[in-house]
Amino acid sequence: MSLDITKINPHFEDVMPQEYIDLVKNGPFGNEKSQKDLGTFKELLEEHPLCAGCNLALAFRILVGSLPNPEDTIIVGSTGCSSLAFSQLALHNIHSVFGNQNAVATGLKTALRLRFPDKIKDVIVMAGDGATADIGLDMTLHSWFRGDKITTVMFDNELYANTGGQESGMSVRDTVLYMAPKGKKFNKINLPDMAIAAGCSYVAVVSTARTKPISDCFKKAVLITREIGPTYIQIYTPCPTNLKIKPYESKKVATDRSKSDYQFREHITDDAKKYLESLKP
Amino acid sequence: MQKENYKVLKGPESYLPPAAALHGVSLPEKGEGLIEGKCVSENTCIQYIALKLLEAKNPTFFPGPLLLWRTTEYALQRGKLVREIAKEVNARVIPMPDYRPKYPMINPAVEINPNHPNLTIWHNKIDVGIFIGVHCHQANLALKIIRGGTDCYTIALCAEEGHEEANASLRNADNKILQKLLETIKEIKKGGAK
C-alpha cells in the first residue's frame, strides 16, 4: 500500500512532468539506497537554494539518499538554512515553528501509530543547532526523556547562519562571528552526552569530512529508533558564508576539525546492539 | 448564512484578495453547489459548469496529488472520467503532482506551480481552470491567488465540502457526479453548443 502512493494514475502518465516519472522509475522508493549510490538514481533533493560549498547541503543529500524506507518516512524540520531545502524535497515533510520540531514529531509519531498500527513509519527530525540545542532544547530533551521513537539529526554549523551569524550554544568558546564580535563567552554545549544521559539508544557524532559514516550511522539510527528508542546524530557542517571560508575549502575545515575536537564517536546501548545484530541476515 | 452580498467573481481582484469566507460566503450543503459565492442546487451547478467549460477558449484541468498518485479502482475510474470530460470540452491537462514551490523556475506548459499559480495561469492565458484532486487547504490557497491576480475563471470539483474561493464549486463530486457532468456536456453539445 505504501508503495502504491508512488505509482502514477495511468490516465495521467502522459501529462506527468518527466521529473516525477524519473522518481517513480529510477528513484529510491522501494529500493534502498546509500551514499555510495548517489549519482546513480533520481534523488529526492536535486535543487536547493543553499550557498556554494554548504556542508549542510552535502549532509542533507547523503541523509535523504540513505533513508531505509523513504515512502514511509516523514521528516520534521525547523527554521534555519535546512528549511530552505526542505521545500524542494520530494518527500513528506513538515516545517515546524522554530524549536518545536521534536514536539511536533512526537505528536506525528503518535498519530501515525494510531492510524497505521501495522506499519512502520519513520519520523525523523532534521534541524540546525539553533533549533535543536538552543531554542528547542526543551522539546528535544523531553522527547528523549519520554523515549519517543524519533530519530533526531542536528546539522551543527555552530552558529545561526540564516540570520547573519549569531553565536549559538553549539559555537565553540571564543569564536568570533559577524554578530558575536567579542567572541563567545561560554563553552560549546555537549549535546551528545546529554542525549546519552537522557536515554537515547544510539548517539553518533560525525562530520562531512567523511560521507560513509554519515550514511551508516543514520541508517543504524533509523532502524534502532523503530524498535528500541530515540536516537541522535550530530553532524558537523561548517558554514562557508559565515565562517568566511572559500566554498572549495569548506570540506577541508570539516576534515581538520574531525581530526581535532570534532572526532567521530558513537554510543550504542546493549539493547540496540542486539537488535542490530538480529537484523543481520 | 451569508452576511452580505459578496460575489466571488473572476479576478484580478487585488494583490491579496479577501478570503471569501470573511465576506460571509459559506460552503454548500449536501445536494448543493456554489456559483460565485451563492449556493444553488447541485443540478444547476453541474449545468452551469458544463456550459462554462464548453464556452471556454482555453479550459485547463489541474489534477492534484489525490488523483495523480492513486491507482485504486475508484481512482482509475475517476482519472478516466476526467480525461473524458477534458476531451469532450477540448481542455488541456496540466498536473499539480505535489505542492513544492518549483525552484528556480518551471515550465508552465507542463505543470502548475502550486505556490505561484497566477504566473502559470497568465503565461498560458487559461480562461477557465478546473481543480480536482487537490488537497483542501492548498486548493483554497491557489484558488485565491488565481482570483487575486488573473482573470481565470476557477472551478473546483471537490470530493469533500466544496471551495468557497472558487468561482464555481461542486461538493461531494464523486464519480457519479463526474459522470453526470460528462453526460450534461454531451447533451449541451448535442443541442448545438461549441
- Give the residue among B23, B22, B18, B47 at the shortest CA–CA distance from B35: B47
Q: Give the range among A102-111, A199-208, B20-29, B44-53 with minimum mean pLDDT.
A: B20-29
For A87, which of B68, B72, B100 is closest by C-beta distance?
B100
Q: Please judge whether A9 and B110 are an interchain contact, meaning their C-beta atoms are less than 8 angstroms apart.
A: no
Mean pLDDT, chain A, whole residue set = 94
For the stretch A122-165, pLDDT in tens is 999 999 999 999 999 999 999 999 999 999 999 999 999 999 99
User: Cell triple for residue A269?
Assistant: 546501548
Distance from CA of A92 to the nearest CA of B (A): 10
Does residue B15 form part of some domain? no
CB count within 10 Å of CB A2 equals: 16
CATH number at B168 reads 3.40.50.12640
Q: Which residues of A touch B93 (CB under 8 A)?
A: 12, 15
For the stretch A26-51, pLDDT in tens is 999 988 888 899 999 999 988 888 99
> Over chain B, what HEC string results?
CCCCCCCCCCCCCCCCCCCHHHHCCCCCCCCEEEECCEEEEHHHHHHHHHHHHHHCCCEEEEECHHHHCCCCHHHHHHHHHHHHHHHHCCCEECCCCCCCCCCCCCCCCCCCCCCCHHHHHHHHCCCEEEEECCCHHHHHHHHHHHHHHCCCEEEEECCCCCCCCCCEEECCCCHHHHHHHHHHHHHHHHCCCC
Does residue B138 form part of some domain? yes
- Nearest-10 Cα torsion for A84, A88, A94, A95: 10
Q: Please judge whether A87 and B63 are an interchain contact, meaning their C-beta atoms are less than 8 angstroms apart.
A: no
Q: Give the range among A95-99, A235-239, B10-14, B120-124 with minimum mean pLDDT.
A: B120-124
> Which of the pair, A77 or B194, is modelled with greater confidence?
A77
Distance from CA of A30 to the nearest CA of B (A): 16
**Which pLDDT score is estimated for B112?**
87
What's the mean pLDDT in A17-31? 91
Does residue B20 form part of some domain? no
Does residue B79 form part of some domain? yes
Distance from CA of A86 to the nearest CA of B (A): 9
Q: Which residues of B touch A15 (CB under 8 A)?
A: 93-95
Does residue B183 form part of some domain? yes
Does residue B108 form part of some domain? yes
Residues 68-107 of B with CB under 8 A from A: 68-72, 75-76, 79-80, 82-83, 93-95, 97-98, 100-101, 103-104, 107
Distance from CA of A73 to the nearest CA of B (A): 16
Give the span between the Cα atoms of A84 and A92, in whole angstroms.
15
Whether B96 contacts B63, CB under 8 Å: yes
Q: Please judge whether A7 and B71 are an interchain contact, meaning their C-beta atoms are less than 8 angstroms apart.
A: yes
Domain count of chain B? Answer: 1
Q: Please judge whether A47 and B68 are an interchain contact, meaning their C-beta atoms are less than 8 angstroms apart.
A: no
Q: Please judge whether A90 and B67 are an interchain contact, meaning their C-beta atoms are less than 8 angstroms apart.
A: no
For B79, which of A11, A17, A49 is closest by C-beta distance?
A11
For B110, which of A11, A17, A88 is closest by C-beta distance?
A17
Distance from CA of A267 to the nearest CA of B (A): 37
Whether B93 contacts B63, CB under 8 Å: yes
Does residue B35 form part of some domain? no
User: Cell triple for residue A69?
Assistant: 524506507
Q: Please judge whether B103 and A88 are an interchain contact, meaning their C-beta atoms are less than 8 angstroms apart.
A: yes
**Which pLDDT score is estimated for B193?**
56
Q: Which residues of A touch B70 (CB under 8 A)?
A: 4-5, 9
Give the span between the Cα atoms of B177 and B133, in whole angstroms.
14
Distance from CA of B7 to the nearest CA of A (A): 34
Q: Please judge whether A11 and B70 are an interchain contact, meaning their C-beta atoms are less than 8 angstroms apart.
A: no
Q: Which residues of A touch B97 (CB under 8 A)?
A: 16-17, 20
Which overall architecture, per CATH, does domain A3-279 show? 3-Layer(aba) Sandwich (3.40)
Q: How many CB pairs under 8 A join A and B?
A: 59
> Over chain A, what HEC string results?
CCHHHHCCCHHHCCCCCHHHHHHHHHCCCCCCCCHHHCCCCCCCCCCCCCCCCCHHHHHHHHHHHCCCCHHHEEEEECCCHHHHHHCCCCCCEEECCCCCHHHHHHHHHHHHHHHCCCCCCEEEEEEEHHHHHHHCHHHHHHHHHCCCCCEEEEEECCCECCCCCECCCCCCCCCCECCECCCCCCCCCCHHHHHHHHCCCEEEEEECCCHHHHHHHHHHHHHHHHHCCCEEEEEECCCCCCCCCCHHHHHHHHHHHHHCCCCCEEEECHHHHHHHHHHCC
User: Cell triple for residue A183?
Assistant: 567572541
Please classify residue B14 by burial: count the beta carbons closer than 10 Å to its beta carbon, then call 0-12 exposed, 13-18 middle and 19+ buried: exposed
Range of the domain at B103: 40-190
Please give the average pLDDT of every successive group of 10 residues along chain B, which has 194 residues.
Answer: 75 88 93 96 97 96 93 92 97 92 76 83 88 94 92 96 96 96 95 64
